[in-house]
Amino acid sequence: MSTGLLDFFVLEGSECVEQLDGLLARAASGAPDFDAFARNARALRGSATMAKVQGITDVANALERIVKGLRDGRLQWTPQLRGAIIAAVDDLKILLRGVRAWGSAEDARAAERTRELSGLAPPPQRAAAPTPVAAAGSAAFLAMQTSDVAAGLQRFADAPGPPATFVDTLARIRALRGVAALLDLPPLAEVVAAVDDAAKGLEIGSTTATDALRELFRAAAVVLREGSYAIQAGGRPDAGTPAVFAFTVAAQSFVEGAGDDDQVVPIHTLFPDGGGDNIVRAEPNPPTTPAQRFKLEVVSQAEHLRRLVGDARRAADAPSRQRLGHELRGAIRALSRSAGSFGESVVANSLNALVEGAAALDPMALTGLDEAAGLLASRADEPLATRIAEIVRRATPMRSATPIAATRVVAATPVITATPVRAATPAVATPVESGPLAAAPSGAALHELLGAGISGLSSLADTPLAEPTELEDDGVVPIQDLLYRGPAALRRAAQLGQSFRRSGSTPNADELAELYDLLELAEAE
């Protein structure tokens, strides 16, 4: 969301809420002007919808529904209803003040108020429809478009040509991406968005038809073809098919090699050391300090990061989680580079510590990232480095050098051992009882021993300083040695996807959990 649109919404929304508050105050204990109340609630709902502030949209919609019921006579003005409306207007004021740093607390407040209002005026019941697509009358269009896009992707993957040969398919992809009904049909929206993003480099000539890109297009074509068949049959695409998981693996492989091209460095590092007349000179009395410029620079980035965290918490299907993990990784690194360019090394290092956990959508890492981004977006005047470092420390307790984001252990090979495998306890030698030991030489005896040179040390073979101690092997194996990581995990995930495809059966819960674990472990190295 652009800063200008957000500022406009805050101004317009505040005006609507003030009008609602004034109508209630003028009515005292009686009923307010229903027409004026409904008009301002509708204006607030429309403005919040345009600004994509869903929580305020829901509250305003519930208020509008209550006023409509009062006008129609379905509801009666009671002290309980008046108290609920006043509380909702008060909460709207709080939500508008926190809209620039919207987070889980704002979501909870808006949801709680919406539930209370909906209990007083439930939404009207609609007749059940087979699917949203069929009800909207767009099933045939979506089925045809997804089938055409799948065919175009398959043709290019099998016989790639110059970018001009892909123009028609790319136009269909972007037209399909703009269809709102596609958002209600996961995983089609994620697949189309990923293909569109991957094709941008091909369009401008910055990338070529690599093997990873062609594999991504092939996997996307299979998912889109499956979705087209499901829509034609009046159903919904299945987000748990082997084709969807194969696409997730292909998308991960494609983005793995993406580098960071927007490295920001302080300009003074571009000049040679020592004196001399440089082209750029420091302003002796700058209007702002570097710390102030840093806070102004990172506010929008921090707000974007918080929005991604909110989306990641709600992501359910594998393609959405994969895309959001990649976007979080890029957004954190961009914010970290900005912090480093302003000399905020503590902030930069703290954010970098959350990259892997956030990319794997680890709940603790997401919570820490949300809190840290909230501080950066708050425009607070006090130094934030220490507070952010403490937040990150709490979000990454006992994190090992090799992050392990999976929820269960996936062994590279079966472990056959009579001794249970313990990963957290380091190997400790067991004390062994022994007989009397020879006294260690000291003083003149030690001087005489050392004076004999290296050859003199050979006597230690006959008279050791201490009896040798046998160290028992207690079977402790580092857990990292039992895990797939990086490319190995990705290859194993691809093998599972192929086995699912060959068997033709739907994978069970354990098989799906193993595949998800492998995809997360693929990012651990």
Domain boundary among 65, 100, 120: 120
Task: Judge if 72 and 149 occupy the same domain.
Answer: no
Largest alpha-carbon pair distance within the chain?
Answer: 111
| Predicted confidence pLDDT, tens digits, the chain (525 residues) | 456 667 778 888 888 999 998 898 888 878 888 888 888 888 888 888 877 888 899 899 889 888 888 888 888 888 888 888 998 999 899 888 888 888 888 888 888 888 888 888 766 544 444 444 444 446 777 888 888 899 999 999 998 888 888 888 888 888 887 776 777 787 888 888 888 888 887 777 767 888 888 998 999 999 999 988 888 888 888 878 888 888 888 887 777 655 444 455 566 666 665 555 555 566 667 666 777 777 777 877 888 888 888 888 888 777 778 778 878 888 898 888 888 888 888 888 888 898 888 888 888 989 989 998 888 887 556 667 888 888 888 887 654 444 433 334 444 444 433 334 334 334 433 344 444 444 555 556 655 655 555 555 555 555 655 555 555 544 454 555 556 667 777 777 777 777 777 776 677 777 777 777 777 777 765
Q: How high is the pLDDT of residue 404?
A: 37
Task: Tell me how crowded residue 315 is: count the other CB atoms within 10 A of its CB.
Answer: 18
Distance CA 61, CA 59 (A): 5
The dihedral through the CA atoms of 478, 481, 487, 489 has a sign that is negative
Distance CA 158, CA 214 (A): 8
Q: Is 48 exposed, middle or buried (0-12, 13-18, 19+ CB in 10 A)?
A: buried
Q: Does residue 513 form part of some domain?
A: no
Q: Does residue 351 form part of some domain?
A: yes
The reply to whether omega before 187 is within 30° of 0 (cis) is yes
pTM of the model: 0.39
CB of 257 within 8 A of CB of 212?
A: yes
Q: How high is the pLDDT of residue 251?
A: 81
Q: Does residue 442 form part of some domain?
A: no
Residue written as token pair 């918490």: 313
Q: How high is the pLDDT of residue 250?
A: 84
CB of 365 within 8 A of CB of 289?
A: no
Domain boundary among 395, 421, 456: 395
3-state secondary structure of 59: helix
Q: How high is the pLDDT of residue 314?
A: 84
Q: How high is the pLDDT of residue 222?
A: 93
Q: Does residue 430 form part of some domain?
A: no
Domain span at residue 150 reads 132-238
Task: Judge if 106 and 147 occupy the same domain.
Answer: no
Task: Tell me how crowded residue 333 is: count the other CB atoms within 10 A of its CB.
Answer: 17
Task: Judge if 25 and 77 occupy the same domain.
Answer: yes
Q: How high is the pLDDT of residue 430?
A: 38
Q: Does residue 262 form part of some domain?
A: no
Task: Judge if 146 and 109 occupy the same domain.
Answer: no
Q: Give, in degrees to the nearest 5, the angle at Cα 29 between 23 and 30.
A: 70
Q: Does residue 478 form part of some domain?
A: no
- How many domains, the chain? 3
Q: How high is the pLDDT of residue 418?
A: 39
Q: Does residue 83 form part of some domain?
A: yes
Task: Tell me how crowded residue 489 is: count the other CB atoms within 10 A of its CB.
Answer: 24
Residue written as token pair 């809209």: 99
Task: Judge if 116 and 144 occupy the same domain.
Answer: no
Residue 327 CB contacts under 8 Å (≥ 6 apart), including other chains: 308
Q: Does residue 270 form part of some domain?
A: no
Task: Judge if 35 and 78 occupy the same domain.
Answer: yes
